[in-house]
Structure 1
């Protein structure tokens, strides 16, 4: 009987111990679950309090996007372009209306032959052109932009041509500046050297001809960036061994050219050497 009692006591103790372990495990599990639920509640509350929170790109991405916008904006130009009315019928005329993509008129009026008309455009904008003959049977509207001439037909019935884009004229301002050319004798003897600067293959005297240059003499010359240049020894010299050098002090380069004998030449000077400073 005592043995049975002890056995039952062991079973009871074991059951209580297991129940305690189970309670601890269940308690721990519930604590973790409660903690997670509490975190979600806090996050939900925070979201309700600050509903304007948004995911935004990092600073580098924003800077890149801004730079791209600046580049696009920089490519757009405002400028004036011209157009003319062309017809084989004398005394004819037409009604022309040019509107931008917002429907705003940049031109609205009657056009006739022999006149040039100017409109202000943006190179990134698109335009609709509406034409109709008033007097005559047919004609053309010739719009000149930076790259080409667009021909738009004009007839007795009203016609609308859509989504034209135009380029601004290229800046045709040509840079001019001065270079200095100095003469140095190397060998032989001579009383003087006569130099001619050929511009685009021609010698437009007297502005490009320099006579009686002695050893060490220098002179200045105005260059145009769109032209090509060649310097020649244009006068005969009694000594076939006579040699000299030309030192050209250009805005971007210092050039040296060896010359010898009669009618020697530097050859065509590459235009990249003769660029005016910005």
Structure 2
């Protein structure tokens, strides 16, 4: 399954694709108002979320890397974003508390580096499909210590202790149902190489086109979290992958 909205972590129109996509790009910025033309999610669509995904989560790490004959690059950071998922598949991603993402790339011998900071929110309805779960086997029960001889005939040994089984791990895929609303998503983009420059300052995601995208090597994910991909969850940890083939960003979240 490929991400259906623009590129996921593409380290360039210069040869390196860490993630791919097919579909419709976010609305371009209006030349006078600076707002995007993204449509809100259709109110009639319905989705589903796996039980282990339901709840409120916070990102602890975001990472991605890849290499090809022409280029290589990586991106990391991004703790502090909050994601809320309900059983009907409604998802809200709030990036207001997210830390910057640092990126580096070597494209055809040219070094590019900088940081990107998301702000605002995105919402979508998703449909999750589980591919199965695996129960982690717990350690064998620890035998009780033999009782110490006692003068009392009623003394007994302690009962054996049994380790509780770990919660089942579940894997699967998810995809948006209907439109994703990116109208409130913002982006600040700064370069440190090849020159120091601020390309965007809390701008609508639709402004990440033309000069800003080209100067940053098209490194920024324009459909963070809500695009189609794969998930795995176990206990208090949820992992979202930007692509089922293993490309794209990997978002690690902890339940709060």
TM-score with structure 1 setting the length: 0.19
Higher RCO by CA contacts (8 Å cutoff, separation 6 or greater): 2
TM-score with structure 2 setting the length: 0.21
Which of the two has higher C-alpha Rg? 1
Question: 1 or 2, which has the higher helix percentage?
Answer: 1
